[in-house]
Amino acid sequence: MARHWVATRPGGLDVFAFEDHDVPPPEHGEVTIAVRAAGMNPADARHVARGDPAGFPKAIGYEVAGVVSAVGEDTGIGSGPVTVGDEVLAFRISGGWATEVTVPARDVFAKPASLSFGEAATLLLAGCTAAEVLHVTGVRQGHTILVHGASGAVGVSVLQQAALLGARVVGTASAGRSDVVTRFGGVPVRYGDGLEERVRAAAPEGVVAALDCVGTDEAVDVSLALVADRDRIVTIAAPERAAARGFTAIAGSMPASQAYRDSVRADLVRLAGEGRLVVPVARTFPLADALEATELLMSRHPGGKLVLEP
């Protein structure tokens, strides 16, 4: 019998339940994955808190890595042919906090041998989000950009992908996390009072675009002060202010975001396999301890990606 985490209704961690469940056999266009690692993301809890009651109970978890345990008839995966026993990763799926899960094959990719299961399971949600914020703001070689929350999971991926584009990044972080920004090629600036002046000093040439991964009023206000073109400001965490002030907000639930993120998954897997895109994993937890792990995740200071292991 497999086990998985579900949310029984909209709410906080009190609505999460760890339950037995029957894994459906894969049909054409599907594969079943024996999960070795499940990625954790703030969206896991946020989408439970804000969900439509009609959509519950809801299985939790958007990305996993593991071993293929069954394949639907005449089915290949996003990266090509597949057989039972292949090591894979999957994103964007539903119900990844599980011991086994059946998912659409188009969302499954061969796991690079150079990646651990934990690294593979935490690659694509942050990586695809980072790729999209760079895309919608038109970041190119020679640009200097501002990234708010540069030491977080999405921010770290932005730092690396921006470097591959040849862009210079000024990244906000706490004093205790500035070394992370430096390690991944950015110029760290401490957030807090005086942030605008510190950014101007770090980028006297000006910043072409501002990418907000935290959603604080400070991040939005500084972005608006430094970037005149509202099309070059994007947030993943402050949609209300984006709507009010005329800049861009993106989210994985938006059709345009979904389409773009789907289009870059294979490239991100390739870059990670080549060692050009690194996923810092802070801690792993047993799958049964998902609530403890979620509390750490929602503290906003996990120090890197968190992984659940069945």
Domain boundaries, the chain: 2-123+279-309, 126-249
What DSSP string runs through the chain? -EEEEEESSSSSGGGEEEEEEPPPPP-TTEEEEEEEEEE--HHHHHHHHT--GGG-SEE--S-EEEEEEEE-TT--BTTB---TT-EEEE-S-S--SBSEEEEEGGGEEEPPTTS-HHHHHTSHHHHHHHHHHHHHTT--TT-EEEEETTTSHHHHHHHHHHHHHT-EEEEEE-GGGHHHHHHTT-EEEE-STTHHHHHHHH-TT--SEEEESS--HHHHHHHHHH---GGGEEESS-HHHHHHHT-EE--TTSHHHHHHHHHHHHHHHHHHHTTSS---EEEEEEGGGHHHHHHHHHTT--SSEEEEE-
| pLDDT value for 299 | 83
| pLDDT value for 47 | 87
| pLDDT value for 168 | 98
Which regions of the chain are under pLDDT 50?
none
CATH hierarchy code of domain 2-123+279-309: 3.90.180.10
Q: Could you report the per-residue pLDDT of 11-61, keeping only the tens digit for each? A: 999 999 999 999 999 999 999 999 999 999 998 988 888 877 888 999 999
Written out in words, the top-level CATH class of the domain with range 126-249 is alpha beta
pTM score of the predicted model: 0.95
